[in-house]
Amino acid sequence: MTPTPAYRRILLKLSGEALRGKTEFGLDPGAVDQIAAEIQEVHDLKIGIAIVPGGGNIFRGDSVFGKRMDRVAADHMGMLATVINSLALQEA
């Protein structure tokens, strides 16, 4: 018997570092696939999921490189990192 979920909709804040897995930078396909499978399990329970992925695995504004940049440019790079993670998760 499947338990009745406590919530019908959730907001999942997903760290970019979680998508990095055991690598030092970027995306780990195994980690992305595992997270996507866990999200699918929740979705199969008819729970609506809004996902907000971070981009810290690709770019951090407080990095040495980011500190040398204009703040707006660094923020734009962070937003692009979030989009990259979103697309990777969507494809998984």
For position 68, what pLDDT does the model report?
A: 80
Please indicate, yes or no, whether the overall pTM of this predicted structure exceeds 0.85: no
89/15 Cα distance (integer angstroms) = 12
Q: Give yes or no for a contact between 76 and 37, defined as CB atoms under 8 angstroms apart.
A: no
State in Å, rounded, how far the first CA of the chain is from the last one: 28
Query: Quick check: 64 pLDDT over 70?
Result: no
For the stretch 22-31, pLDDT in tens is 988 899 999 9
Element (H, E) at 35: helix 29-44
Query: Quick check: 66 pLDDT over 70?
Result: no
Residue whose token pair is 């993670």: 85
For position 42, what pLDDT does the model report?
A: 95
For the stretch 40-55, pLDDT in tens is 999 999 999 999 999 9
Query: Quick check: 70 pLDDT over 90?
Result: no
